[in-house]
Protein backbone atom coordinates (compact mmCIF):
# COMPACT_ATOMS: atom_id res chain seq x y z
CA UNK A 1 0.00 0.00 0.00
CA UNK A 2 2.98 2.31 0.39
CA UNK A 3 3.41 2.29 -3.39
CA UNK A 4 -0.29 3.03 -3.80
CA UNK A 5 -0.24 6.06 -1.50
CA UNK A 6 2.97 7.29 -3.15
CA UNK A 7 1.39 7.06 -6.60
CA UNK A 8 -1.79 8.78 -5.38
CA UNK A 9 0.15 11.62 -3.76
CA UNK A 10 2.24 12.02 -6.92
CA UNK A 11 -0.87 12.27 -9.12
CA UNK A 12 -2.60 14.69 -6.77
CA UNK A 13 -0.14 17.48 -7.58
CA UNK A 14 1.26 16.35 -10.93
CA UNK A 15 -1.99 16.54 -12.92
CA UNK A 16 -4.05 18.84 -10.71
CA UNK A 17 -4.27 21.64 -13.29
CA UNK A 18 -3.36 20.10 -16.62
CA UNK A 19 -6.29 17.70 -17.00
CA UNK A 20 -9.98 18.35 -16.25
CA UNK A 21 -10.62 17.92 -12.51
CA UNK A 22 -7.07 16.61 -12.20
CA UNK A 23 -6.96 17.52 -8.51
CA UNK A 24 -9.68 14.89 -7.91
CA UNK A 25 -7.77 11.87 -9.23
CA UNK A 26 -5.17 11.44 -6.51
CA UNK A 27 -7.58 12.45 -3.77
CA UNK A 28 -10.22 9.95 -4.90
CA UNK A 29 -7.58 7.22 -4.93
CA UNK A 30 -6.58 8.08 -1.37
CA UNK A 31 -10.20 8.11 -0.22
CA UNK A 32 -10.89 4.76 -1.88
CA UNK A 33 -7.66 3.33 -0.50
CA UNK A 34 -8.84 4.12 3.02
CA UNK A 35 -11.45 1.37 2.62
CA UNK A 36 -8.63 -1.13 3.09
CA UNK A 37 -8.45 0.03 6.70
CA UNK A 38 -11.92 -1.26 7.54
CA UNK A 39 -10.52 -4.40 9.16
CA UNK A 40 -7.26 -2.82 10.30
CA UNK A 41 -6.76 -0.85 13.49
CA UNK A 42 -4.72 2.32 13.00
CA UNK A 43 -5.41 3.79 16.42
CA UNK A 44 -2.00 2.77 17.70
CA UNK A 45 -0.31 4.88 15.01
CA UNK A 46 -2.28 8.03 15.86
CA UNK A 47 -1.06 10.54 18.41
CA UNK A 48 -2.86 13.52 19.94
CA UNK A 49 -2.00 15.86 17.06
CA UNK A 50 -3.23 13.36 14.46
CA UNK A 51 -6.53 13.18 16.32
CA UNK A 52 -6.77 16.98 16.42
CA UNK A 53 -6.39 17.19 12.64
CA UNK A 54 -9.04 14.49 12.22
CA UNK A 55 -11.32 16.25 14.72
CA UNK A 56 -11.08 19.57 12.87
CA UNK A 57 -11.88 17.99 9.50
CA UNK A 58 -14.81 16.02 10.91
CA UNK A 59 -16.10 19.01 12.90
CA UNK A 60 -16.14 21.16 9.76
CA UNK A 61 -18.03 18.40 7.96
CA UNK A 62 -20.52 17.83 10.78
CA UNK A 63 -21.27 21.47 11.56
CA UNK A 64 -21.64 22.39 7.90
CA UNK A 65 -24.01 19.48 7.28
CA UNK A 66 -26.01 20.42 10.39
CA UNK A 67 -26.39 24.00 9.17
CA UNK A 68 -27.38 22.79 5.70
CA UNK A 69 -30.09 20.68 7.29
CA UNK A 70 -31.23 23.57 9.47
CA UNK A 71 -31.61 25.85 6.46
CA UNK A 72 -33.20 23.15 4.25
CA UNK A 73 -30.56 23.49 1.54
CA UNK A 74 -30.67 21.45 -1.66
CA UNK A 75 -28.92 18.08 -1.84
CA UNK A 76 -26.08 19.32 -4.04
CA UNK A 77 -24.84 21.58 -1.22
CA UNK A 78 -23.72 18.54 0.78
CA UNK A 79 -21.03 17.66 -1.75
CA UNK A 80 -18.40 20.17 -0.60
CA UNK A 81 -18.37 19.35 3.14
CA UNK A 82 -18.28 15.65 2.27
CA UNK A 83 -14.80 16.24 0.80
CA UNK A 84 -13.47 17.04 4.27
CA UNK A 85 -14.84 13.75 5.56
CA UNK A 86 -13.01 11.99 2.72
CA UNK A 87 -9.83 13.93 3.54
CA UNK A 88 -10.07 12.64 7.12
CA UNK A 89 -10.33 9.08 5.77
CA UNK A 90 -7.32 9.73 3.53
CA UNK A 91 -5.30 10.89 6.53
CA UNK A 92 -5.86 7.53 8.22
CA UNK A 93 -4.51 5.79 5.11
CA UNK A 94 -1.51 8.13 4.94
CA UNK A 95 -0.68 7.46 8.59
CA UNK A 96 -0.90 3.72 8.06
CA UNK A 97 1.11 3.75 4.82
CA UNK A 98 3.29 6.90 4.52
CA UNK A 99 4.15 7.84 0.91
CA UNK A 100 7.69 8.06 -0.40
CA UNK A 101 9.04 11.65 -0.17
CA UNK A 102 10.38 11.50 -3.75
CA UNK A 103 6.87 10.82 -5.04
CA UNK A 104 5.51 13.86 -3.23
CA UNK A 105 8.21 16.27 -4.42
CA UNK A 106 8.33 14.98 -7.99
CA UNK A 107 4.55 15.38 -8.20
CA UNK A 108 4.85 19.00 -7.11
CA UNK A 109 7.64 19.64 -9.60
CA UNK A 110 5.64 18.27 -12.53
CA UNK A 111 2.53 20.04 -11.27
CA UNK A 112 4.32 23.39 -11.13
CA UNK A 113 5.98 23.01 -14.53
CA UNK A 114 2.77 21.76 -16.12
CA UNK A 115 0.71 24.59 -14.62
CA UNK A 116 3.16 27.22 -15.84
CA UNK A 117 3.48 25.79 -19.35
CA UNK A 118 -0.28 25.28 -19.77
CA UNK A 119 -1.12 28.76 -18.51
CA UNK A 120 1.64 30.31 -20.63
CA UNK A 121 0.33 28.52 -23.71
CA UNK A 122 -3.19 29.81 -23.11
CA UNK A 123 -1.92 33.29 -22.43
CA UNK A 124 0.45 33.70 -25.37
CA UNK A 125 -1.30 31.52 -27.95
CA UNK A 126 -4.78 32.93 -27.35
CA UNK A 127 -3.91 36.32 -25.83
CA UNK A 128 -6.34 35.83 -22.92
CA UNK A 129 -6.11 35.32 -19.17
CA UNK A 130 -5.24 31.70 -18.53
CA UNK A 131 -8.07 29.70 -17.00
CA UNK A 132 -7.02 26.08 -17.50
CA UNK A 133 -9.97 23.75 -17.07
CA UNK A 134 -11.49 25.79 -14.23
CA UNK A 135 -11.47 29.60 -13.98
CA UNK A 136 -8.72 32.20 -13.75
CA UNK A 137 -8.97 32.73 -9.99
CA UNK A 138 -9.07 29.06 -9.02
CA UNK A 139 -6.30 28.16 -11.47
CA UNK A 140 -4.16 31.06 -10.31
CA UNK A 141 -4.53 30.24 -6.63
CA UNK A 142 -3.79 26.52 -7.00
CA UNK A 143 -0.85 27.16 -9.32
CA UNK A 144 0.50 29.63 -6.76
CA UNK A 145 0.20 27.05 -3.96
CA UNK A 146 2.01 24.41 -6.01
CA UNK A 147 4.79 26.87 -6.80
CA UNK A 148 5.24 27.91 -3.17
CA UNK A 149 5.20 24.29 -1.98
CA UNK A 150 7.97 23.43 -4.45
CA UNK A 151 10.13 26.08 -2.79
CA UNK A 152 9.70 24.41 0.62
CA UNK A 153 11.57 21.27 -0.47
CA UNK A 154 15.09 22.69 -0.90
CA UNK A 155 16.49 21.31 2.36
CA UNK A 156 15.01 17.89 1.56
CA UNK A 157 16.62 18.03 -1.89
CA UNK A 158 20.01 18.94 -0.44
CA UNK A 159 20.04 15.65 1.48
CA UNK A 160 19.54 13.49 -1.63
CA UNK A 161 22.18 11.82 -3.76
CA UNK A 162 21.34 13.89 -6.82
CA UNK A 163 21.05 17.02 -4.68
CA UNK A 164 21.83 19.57 -7.38
CA UNK A 165 19.30 18.09 -9.79
CA UNK A 166 16.56 18.00 -7.16
CA UNK A 167 17.27 21.57 -6.04
CA UNK A 168 17.22 22.83 -9.62
CA UNK A 169 13.99 20.99 -10.43
CA UNK A 170 12.24 22.29 -7.31
CA UNK A 171 13.27 25.85 -8.14
CA UNK A 172 12.03 25.44 -11.71
CA UNK A 173 8.77 23.94 -10.48
CA UNK A 174 8.37 26.77 -7.99
CA UNK A 175 9.03 29.54 -10.50
CA UNK A 176 6.79 27.94 -13.13
CA UNK A 177 3.98 27.54 -10.60
CA UNK A 178 4.21 31.23 -9.73
CA UNK A 179 4.33 32.13 -13.41
CA UNK A 180 1.23 30.03 -14.02
CA UNK A 181 -0.55 32.15 -11.46
CA UNK A 182 0.76 35.36 -13.02
CA UNK A 183 -0.56 34.37 -16.45
CA UNK A 184 -4.09 34.15 -15.02
CA UNK A 185 -4.02 37.77 -13.93
CA UNK A 186 -5.50 36.66 -10.62
CA UNK A 187 -4.66 39.35 -8.08
CA UNK A 188 -5.94 37.66 -4.93
CA UNK A 189 -3.44 34.81 -5.14
CA UNK A 190 -0.53 37.23 -4.65
CA UNK A 191 -1.82 38.80 -1.43
CA UNK A 192 0.21 36.43 0.73
CA UNK A 193 3.38 36.45 -1.43
CA UNK A 194 5.41 38.86 0.75
CA UNK A 195 4.57 36.83 3.88
CA UNK A 196 5.39 33.55 2.12
CA UNK A 197 8.76 34.84 0.91
CA UNK A 198 9.60 36.18 4.37
CA UNK A 199 8.74 32.84 6.01
CA UNK A 200 10.83 30.97 3.42
CA UNK A 201 13.82 33.25 3.93
CA UNK A 202 13.71 33.05 7.72
CA UNK A 203 13.40 29.25 7.56
CA UNK A 204 16.22 28.72 5.08
CA UNK A 205 18.53 31.21 6.79
CA UNK A 206 18.84 28.68 9.64
CA UNK A 207 20.40 25.99 7.45
CA UNK A 208 21.77 27.81 4.39
CA UNK A 209 24.19 30.77 4.44
CA UNK A 210 22.10 33.94 4.56
CA UNK A 211 23.79 35.47 1.51
CA UNK A 212 22.56 32.60 -0.66
CA UNK A 213 19.04 32.78 0.75
CA UNK A 214 18.57 36.52 0.35
CA UNK A 215 20.40 36.46 -2.97
CA UNK A 216 17.98 33.82 -4.24
CA UNK A 217 15.08 35.90 -2.99
CA UNK A 218 16.41 38.94 -4.85
CA UNK A 219 16.80 36.87 -8.04
CA UNK A 220 13.24 35.52 -7.74
CA UNK A 221 11.79 38.98 -7.17
CA UNK A 222 13.82 40.33 -10.09
CA UNK A 223 12.59 37.54 -12.37
CA UNK A 224 8.98 38.20 -11.43
CA UNK A 225 9.49 41.94 -11.90
CA UNK A 226 10.97 41.40 -15.38
CA UNK A 227 8.08 39.20 -16.46
CA UNK A 228 5.66 41.67 -14.89
CA UNK A 229 7.26 44.52 -16.87
CA UNK A 230 7.43 42.86 -20.28
CA UNK A 231 3.94 41.37 -20.19
CA UNK A 232 1.49 43.41 -22.28
CA UNK A 233 -0.40 46.14 -20.46
CA UNK A 234 -3.67 44.23 -20.97
CA UNK A 235 -3.04 41.80 -18.13
CA UNK A 236 -1.66 41.57 -14.62
CA UNK A 237 0.09 44.94 -14.46
CA UNK A 238 -2.97 46.75 -15.75
CA UNK A 239 -5.25 44.75 -13.46
CA UNK A 240 -3.30 45.88 -10.40
CA UNK A 241 -3.73 49.52 -11.38
CA UNK A 242 -7.36 48.86 -12.25
CA UNK A 243 -8.02 47.44 -8.79
CA UNK A 244 -7.05 50.71 -7.11
CA UNK A 245 -9.10 52.69 -9.61
CA UNK A 246 -12.18 50.52 -9.12
CA UNK A 247 -11.91 50.72 -5.34
CA UNK A 248 -11.63 54.51 -5.48
CA UNK A 249 -14.61 54.75 -7.84
CA UNK A 250 -16.75 52.60 -5.55
CA UNK A 251 -15.84 54.66 -2.48
CA UNK A 252 -16.71 57.88 -4.26
CA UNK A 253 -19.74 56.91 -6.36
CA UNK A 254 -20.83 53.48 -5.02
CA UNK A 255 -20.26 52.16 -8.56
CA UNK A 256 -20.46 48.37 -8.28
CA UNK A 257 -20.08 47.69 -12.01
CA UNK A 258 -16.52 46.38 -11.75
CA UNK A 259 -14.63 43.47 -10.23
CA UNK A 260 -13.55 45.36 -7.10
CA UNK A 261 -16.79 47.33 -6.98
CA UNK A 262 -18.79 44.09 -6.95
CA UNK A 263 -16.70 42.73 -4.11
CA UNK A 264 -17.08 45.87 -2.02
CA UNK A 265 -20.82 45.95 -2.60
CA UNK A 266 -21.14 42.29 -1.64
CA UNK A 267 -19.07 42.89 1.50
CA UNK A 268 -21.57 45.59 2.43
CA UNK A 269 -24.47 43.26 1.63
CA UNK A 270 -22.87 40.50 3.70
CA UNK A 271 -22.50 42.80 6.70
CA UNK A 272 -26.17 43.75 6.39
CA UNK A 273 -27.18 40.09 6.23
CA UNK A 274 -25.12 39.19 9.30
CA UNK A 275 -26.77 42.00 11.25
CA UNK A 276 -30.17 40.40 10.54
CA UNK A 277 -29.19 36.77 11.31
CA UNK A 278 -25.99 36.87 13.38
CA UNK A 279 -26.25 33.56 15.24
CA UNK A 280 -27.36 30.87 12.79
CA UNK A 281 -27.03 32.67 9.46
CA UNK A 282 -29.43 32.53 6.55
CA UNK A 283 -28.20 29.62 4.47
CA UNK A 284 -27.27 29.96 0.82
CA UNK A 285 -30.82 29.90 -0.57
CA UNK A 286 -32.02 32.16 2.23
CA UNK A 287 -29.29 34.69 1.51
CA UNK A 288 -30.16 34.80 -2.20
CA UNK A 289 -33.83 35.32 -1.32
CA UNK A 290 -32.96 38.05 1.20
CA UNK A 291 -30.62 39.68 -1.33
CA UNK A 292 -33.40 39.79 -3.92
CA UNK A 293 -35.67 41.56 -1.45
CA UNK A 294 -32.97 44.10 -0.61
CA UNK A 295 -32.40 44.81 -4.31
CA UNK A 296 -36.11 45.35 -4.85
CA UNK A 297 -36.11 47.73 -1.89
CA UNK A 298 -33.22 49.66 -3.43
CA UNK A 299 -30.82 48.90 -0.58
CA UNK A 300 -28.38 46.82 -2.66
CA UNK A 301 -27.19 47.49 -6.20
CA UNK A 302 -29.29 45.59 -8.76
CA UNK A 303 -26.09 44.31 -10.40
CA UNK A 304 -25.70 41.96 -7.41
CA UNK A 305 -28.77 39.97 -8.40
CA UNK A 306 -28.11 36.22 -8.23
CA UNK A 307 -24.79 36.47 -6.33
CA UNK A 308 -24.79 33.59 -3.86
CA UNK A 309 -21.61 34.45 -1.95
CA UNK A 310 -20.06 37.63 -0.58
CA UNK A 311 -16.44 37.40 -1.82
CA UNK A 312 -14.99 36.92 1.66
CA UNK A 313 -14.54 33.51 3.27
CA UNK A 314 -15.23 34.45 6.90
CA UNK A 315 -18.10 36.82 6.16
CA UNK A 316 -19.65 34.22 3.87
CA UNK A 317 -19.46 31.61 6.64
CA UNK A 318 -21.25 33.99 9.00
CA UNK A 319 -23.92 34.87 6.44
CA UNK A 320 -24.76 31.27 5.60
CA UNK A 321 -23.85 29.21 8.68
CA UNK A 322 -23.71 31.78 11.44
CA UNK A 323 -21.40 31.62 14.44
CA UNK A 324 -21.03 27.79 14.31
CA UNK A 325 -19.92 28.02 10.67
CA UNK A 326 -17.38 30.74 11.42
CA UNK A 327 -15.97 28.86 14.41
CA UNK A 328 -15.32 25.63 12.51
CA UNK A 329 -13.79 27.62 9.64
CA UNK A 330 -11.40 29.31 12.06
CA UNK A 331 -10.61 25.93 13.61
CA UNK A 332 -9.95 24.48 10.15
CA UNK A 333 -7.31 27.15 9.60
CA UNK A 334 -5.75 27.80 12.98
CA UNK A 335 -5.62 24.39 14.65
CA UNK A 336 -3.54 22.82 11.84
CA UNK A 337 -1.55 26.06 11.51
CA UNK A 338 -0.59 25.89 15.18
CA UNK A 339 0.39 22.22 14.84
CA UNK A 340 2.51 22.86 11.74
CA UNK A 341 4.25 25.84 13.40
CA UNK A 342 5.03 23.72 16.46
CA UNK A 343 6.56 21.05 14.22
CA UNK A 344 8.84 23.65 12.61
CA UNK A 345 10.53 23.84 16.00
CA UNK A 346 10.36 20.27 17.27
CA UNK A 347 10.30 17.93 14.25
CA UNK A 348 13.40 16.15 12.89
CA UNK A 349 15.12 18.04 10.09
CA UNK A 350 13.81 15.71 7.37
CA UNK A 351 10.21 16.37 8.51
CA UNK A 352 10.42 20.17 8.68
CA UNK A 353 9.85 20.86 4.95
CA UNK A 354 6.34 19.40 5.30
CA UNK A 355 5.66 21.53 8.37
CA UNK A 356 6.82 24.57 6.40
CA UNK A 357 4.54 23.56 3.54
CA UNK A 358 1.59 23.27 5.93
CA UNK A 359 2.21 26.74 7.32
CA UNK A 360 2.40 28.29 3.84
CA UNK A 361 -0.67 26.39 2.62
CA UNK A 362 -2.85 27.84 5.36
CA UNK A 363 -1.30 31.31 5.15
CA UNK A 364 -2.25 31.35 1.49
CA UNK A 365 -5.81 30.24 2.18
CA UNK A 366 -6.18 32.98 4.75
CA UNK A 367 -4.93 35.43 2.11
CA UNK A 368 -7.29 34.09 -0.56
CA UNK A 369 -10.21 34.45 1.84
CA UNK A 370 -10.02 38.25 1.88
CA UNK A 371 -11.39 38.59 -1.65
CA UNK A 372 -13.05 35.30 -2.54
CA UNK A 373 -14.85 32.27 -1.13
CA UNK A 374 -12.36 29.59 -2.16
CA UNK A 375 -14.16 26.90 -0.16
CA UNK A 376 -17.32 27.41 -2.23
CA UNK A 377 -15.51 25.63 -5.08
CA UNK A 378 -14.70 21.96 -5.42
CA UNK A 379 -11.10 22.73 -6.37
CA UNK A 380 -10.65 24.96 -3.33
CA UNK A 381 -12.02 22.37 -0.92
CA UNK A 382 -10.02 19.50 -2.41
CA UNK A 383 -6.79 21.49 -2.50
CA UNK A 384 -7.05 22.56 1.13
CA UNK A 385 -8.35 19.32 2.63
CA UNK A 386 -6.15 16.85 0.79
CA UNK A 387 -2.98 18.97 0.62
CA UNK A 388 -3.26 19.46 4.37
CA UNK A 389 -3.56 15.76 5.15
CA UNK A 390 -0.86 14.82 2.65
CA UNK A 391 1.58 17.28 4.22
CA UNK A 392 0.68 16.10 7.72
CA UNK A 393 0.92 12.46 6.66
CA UNK A 394 4.34 13.06 5.10
CA UNK A 395 5.51 14.91 8.21
CA UNK A 396 4.38 12.17 10.59
CA UNK A 397 5.81 9.50 8.31
CA UNK A 398 9.23 11.15 8.46
CA UNK A 399 8.97 11.44 12.23
CA UNK A 400 8.23 7.73 12.45
CA UNK A 401 11.19 6.85 10.24
CA UNK A 402 13.54 8.90 12.42
Average pLDDT, the chain: 89
pLDDT (0 to 100) of residue 239: 63
Does the pLDDT at position 186 exceed 50? yes
pLDDT in tens, 329-360: 999 999 999 999 999 988 899 999 999 999 99
pLDDT (average), residues 242-247: 65
Does the pLDDT at position 237 exceed 90? no
Quickly state the pLDDT bin for 233 (edges 50, 70, 90).
Answer: very low
From the list 25, 266, 240, the residue with the least C-alpha distance to 133 is 25
pLDDT in tens, 1-48: 878 999 999 999 999 999 998 989 999 999 999 988 876 766 557 899
pLDDT (average), residues 46-67: 96
Quickly state the pLDDT bin for 302 (edges 50, 70, 90).
Answer: confident
Does the pLDDT at position 255 exceed 80? no
pLDDT (average), residues 106-129: 92
pLDDT (average), residues 132-139: 90
Least confident of 87-91, 155-159, 190-194, 220-224: 220-224
Amino acid sequence: MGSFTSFSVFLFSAISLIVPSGFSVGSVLLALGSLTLVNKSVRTTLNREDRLILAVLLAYFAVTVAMLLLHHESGKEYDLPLRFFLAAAALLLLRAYPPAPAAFWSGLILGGIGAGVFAGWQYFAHNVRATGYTNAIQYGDISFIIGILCLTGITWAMQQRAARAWVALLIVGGVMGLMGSLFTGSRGSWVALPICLLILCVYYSRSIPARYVWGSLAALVAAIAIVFTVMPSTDFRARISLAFSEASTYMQKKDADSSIGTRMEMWRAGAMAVAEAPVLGMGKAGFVQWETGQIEAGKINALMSGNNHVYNEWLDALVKRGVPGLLVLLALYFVPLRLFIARLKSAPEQAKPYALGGVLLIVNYIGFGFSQVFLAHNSGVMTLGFTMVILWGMLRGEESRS
